[in-house]
Amino acid sequence: MDLDRESLGLGVKPALLLVDMIEGFTNPECPLGCDCPEVVAANADVLEAFRAAKMPIFYTTVVFHGDEQARVFRERVPALNVLTPQSNWVKVDERLAMREGEVLVEKQWASAFRGTDIDEQLRAQGVDSLVVTGLTTSGCVRATVVDGLQYDYRVVVAKEAVGDRNAEAHEANLFDMHAKYADVWPVADVLADIRMRKSL
């Protein structure tokens, strides 16, 4: 049975958070990657809308600078060890290349909030809500969404702009996030909301 919950939507000042849209996850040649051009294209659409509305944009990447960082996580998923500072895999997918004023947050764990200063950076810009996109739905996206709620941000997940290697895990986690932690909106609804704000 579903829990009763309120649809909160976005607050007064939303930010876009692209979770790990990096070469290591969008390029199937990487052991961590998958072929997901439709997810990249949906991210590009959301990114364009936020840029047009001059709203804050944050990206995350995963970079390990030493053996001591996220040791158990890397023991559990050895493929993570390719994400070194010198690697191409940690770079933002060039189809979503960053522009001046946009922020890249390095992380070592699943959540964008764990061990980073992203909360302080969001608060400094007056952000009160997040549109979350990226990879993967069952991993870093979900962890970031849960922590976003726990840091008292309203969170909207842009449905077609998140993806997973496993289709069943993708659907199950979208269902679960919508049930407890966030509103899951079609990208079309996210675009309509952001464009409406731009016109005000």
Is 5 domain-assigned? no
Specify the residue for token string 């289709």. 167
Q: DSSP E strands: which ranges in the chain?
A: 14-19, 57-62, 103-107, 129-135, 154-163, 183-185
Percent of the chain exceeding pLDDT 90 equals 94
Mind listing the pLDDT tens digit for each residue in 74-116? Answer: 999 999 999 999 999 999 999 999 999 999 999 999 999 999 9
pLDDT of residue 112: 98
pLDDT beyond 80 at 200:
no
Backbone angles phi, psi at 57, to 5 degrees: -130, 125
pLDDT of residue 21: 98
Q: How many residues does the chain have?
A: 200
Q: How far apart are CA 97 and CA 137, in angstroms?
A: 21
Is 31 domain-assigned? yes
Q: How far apart are CA 19 and CA 29, in angstroms?
A: 19
Confidence label for 2 from pLDDT (cuts 50, 70 and 90):
confident
Is 4 domain-assigned? no
Percent of the chain exceeding pLDDT 70 equals 98
CA distances from 36 to 23, 28, 103, 174 (A): 11, 9, 23, 17
pLDDT of residue 197: 87
Are 18 and 58 in contact by the 8 Å Cβ rule? The answer is: yes
CB atoms within 10 A of CB 198: 12
Q: Look over the chain and give the mean of its residue pLDDT values, rounded to a whole number.
A: 96
Is 50 domain-assigned? yes
Among residues 17, 14, 54, the alpha carbon closest in space to that of 132 is found at 17
Is 179 domain-assigned? yes
pLDDT of residue 182: 97
Is 143 domain-assigned? yes
- What the block records as the tokens of 199 is 């016109």
- Taking phi over 0 as left and psi of -120 to 50 as alpha, with beta for the rest, 179 belongs to alpha
pLDDT of residue 101: 96
pLDDT of residue 189: 98
Mind listing the pLDDT tens digit for each residue in 5-62? Answer: 889 999 999 999 999 999 999 999 999 999 999 999 999 999 999 999 999 999 999 9
pLDDT of residue 198: 75
pLDDT of residue 1: 65
pLDDT beyond 80 at 70:
yes
User: For the chain, how many structural domains are there in total?
Assistant: 1
Is 145 domain-assigned? yes
| CB-based contacts of 129, cutoff 8 Å, min separation 6 | 9, 10, 11, 12, 13, 14, 15, 153, 154, 155, 156
* Residue range(s) defining the domain that contains residue 179: 14-199
Sign of CA dihedral 180, 170, 117, 122: negative
Is 8 domain-assigned? no
Can you give the CATH number for the domain in which 34 is found?
3.40.50.850
Residue 30 annotated among the catalytic residues of the structure: no
